[in-house]
Structure 1
Amino acid sequence: MENVNFTLNLFIEYLQIEKNYSEYTIACYKRDIGEFFEFMQREKIEKLEDVTYSDVRLFLTELHTKKQASRSIARKISSLRSFYKFLLREKIVQENPFALASLPKREQKIPQFLYKEELESLFLVNDLNTAIGQRNQALIELLYATGIRVSECCNIQLSDIDFSLSTILIHGKGNKQRYVPFGSYAKEALERYISDGRKQLLKKAKVPNHYLFLNFRGNPLTPRGVRNILDEMVEKASLSLKISPHVLRHTFATHLLNEGADLRSVQELLGHAHLSSTQVYTHVTKEHLRNIYLHSHPRA
């Protein structure tokens, strides 16, 4: 299997250099392809070019037997299809046995979101006289105001923020950049934090940095740190709900659509490559439209 592992390393280099994928995405590819290599060893398939469509079907049957989620199986097929597409391009194989494999139907889960009343209580829990309180307030205001991903939030540099236009340059997935606007509440919270709280936190750092959000040691805040902060805020607000940065992203999109924003604009703000990723939020707004109809139509 030495040649197989060498080929995987070539593919990983391609993902890093040509596709500029994140470490997390590359780790998922390695794990998915590695699982297929284990299957090849069990089935005594020595070379990648020896894999047939029948082998692919047997591999998928194994995944279903293990009761893996359809979303997980779909991702593995997609990873291996891309891998073989690369092998075809490099003339390492003659055909792609995963080309005919159909993706399992994905369960359409309706995104969890917060109602305005639940959000309001979160905005009131922070002590704005402390550096940590100012940071936390700026954090939740910005996550709700922009709908950015937690990784994007943690990577914001001070130079990315334009207060005159109330926009932030976001470095998204695949190194794609987009400008995202923010409102007056987020602006006020950010200005307070940057002029006061952030300076206090930065004093504790051993090495100065230009990241917007810092932890109590003055170092850049991590995605896990953001999740811990939100958990603490929920506890302080005595709310019986589970909140994450992604729930705030769902909330941002849902509230925009409920107030009449068009799908294309929301897609651009979220940084979705495909409109289908944004369309999931229309399921949430159906209930809202039904309530409007029932309360507004004379013969409802």
Structure 2
Amino acid sequence: MLSAAIDVYVRHAADVRRLSPATVRGYASDLRDLVATVGDRPLTDVDVEHLREWAWAGAQAGLARSTLARRTAAVRGFFRWASEEGLVDADPSLRLVTPKRGRTLPRVASAPALRDVLEGYVARAETGGPDDARDAAVLELLYGAALRVSELCGLDVDDLDRDRRTVRVLGKGAKERVVPYGGAAARALETYLVRARPALASRGDGAGAALFVGARGRRLGARSVYDLVARAVGPAVGSAAVGPHSLRHSAATHLLDGGADLRAVQEMLGHASLGTTQIYTHVSSERMREAYRLAHPRA
């Protein structure tokens, strides 16, 4: 398990590498915080997305740049040792970039702006071609179920329960969860499955059981989803540098704005730690304070 491997590494850092006691204490604290964020899981299950989630949480907590750099050094040293010891096949920390202090959440679209975007794509799907129907369904499900792009692209048709309006998702660490989606997503998916998917799948022979099919008749790739979201949502948030995670963050923020229970949102998002989900409460609180400052006569 991750925590057991960290204990061995901390002793190695002190006894073999002979790092200073202060550095060893700092590394031990950093790596135990990693466990608190991503959960005590098998070491081989930890991937770069877990490390990014942990690094991002540290940046959002306002840690000093020097602390963020030390945390990155700690996790890189740990995984370099684990790789040399044969405990992992690949070192996920090689792709980790030290986050900049003050880094914010990907842009969150307002609920009215996002509604206009989605309704526009749904209207286009009614009269357009198969690609239009697929794009509307992709956007509605990304937002409606707050999915990661990897989760959406990995869905098969059988993962949908169209009667219950739920989707079975395989998240990080191969953890499965069942997520609800709303009426708008259900209607977009029905249009896509009945009218568009068969036409898209007929363009090639690589679709298989994939729920979403690309222009060449194969499983839809993450790059295509990134391009779609940038075109669709970018103007609504005032930035072309916007990706699928913006829809996930928007969904989480809007749920909390509407009074959803924090643990229910955690379960829906598939976060290992409640602390990761709590970041969205800060976003909602900031929005509330800004609205109060602008609108209340005694602000």
Question: TM-score when scaled to structure 1?
Answer: 0.66
Which of 113, 116, 119 does residue 121 from structure 1 map onto?
116
> Equivalent residue for 1:226?
225
Q: How big is the shift at 1:238? A: 7.9
Paired position in structure 2 for 1:266: 265
Q: Which moved more, 1:68-77 or 1:275-284?
A: 68-77
How far did 1:209 drift? Answer: 0.6
Could you say if the C-alpha distance between residues 56 and 193 of structure 1 is closer, same or farther in structure 2, counting changes exceeding 3 Å? farther
Aligned match of 2:169: 170
Task: Give the alignment of 1:58-137 within 5 angstroms.
Answer: 71=68, 73-81=70-78, 84=81, 107=101, 109-111=103-105, 112-126=107-121, 127-128=124-125, 129-137=128-136
Q: Is the 8 A contact 1:263 1:278 kept in 2?
A: yes
Note closer, same or farther for the CA distance 1:131–1:88 as it changes in structure 2 (3 Å cut): closer
Q: Label 1:208 to 1:257 Cα distance change in 2 as closer, same or farther (>3 A).
A: closer
Identity score, percent: 32
Gaps of 5+ in 2: 3-12, 27-64, 88-97
Q: Return the offset for 1:125.
A: 3.9
Residue 77 and residue 238 in structure 1: after superposition, are their counterparts in 2 closer, same or farther (change >3 A)? closer
Match of 1:205 in 2: 204
Bigger fraction of residues in helix: 2
Partners of 2:142 and 2:286 lie apart in 1 by 24
User: What is the aligned partner in structure 1 of residue 284 from structure 2?
Assistant: 285
Q: Which structure is larger by alpha-carbon Rg, 1 or 2?
A: 1
Relative distance call for 1:234 and 1:271 in structure 2 (3 A) is closer
Letter paired with 2:209: H
2:238 maps to amino acid: S
Report if the CA contact (8 A) 1:156-1:170 is conserved: yes
| RMSD between superposed Cα atoms in Å | 3.8
Structure 2 partner of 1:190: 189
2 CA distance for matches of 1:212 and 1:125?
Answer: 22
**Residues 125 and 233, structure 1, Cα contact 8 Å, conserved in 2:** no
Structure 1 pair 249–105 and aligned structure 2 pair: CA distance change class (3 A): closer
Letter in 1 for 2:269: L
Runs of 4+ aligned structure 1 residues displaced above 6 Å come to 85-90, 294-299
Aligned residue type for 2:265: V
Q: Is the contact made by 1:154 and 1:220 (CA closer than 8 Å) also made in structure 2?
A: yes
- What is the deviation of 1:177? 0.5
* Aligned residue pairs, count: 235
- Residue type of the partner of 2:109? L
TM-score by structure 2 length?
0.67
Tell me which residue corresponds to 2:149. Answer: 150
Residues 267, 275 of structure 1: 8 Å contact kept: yes
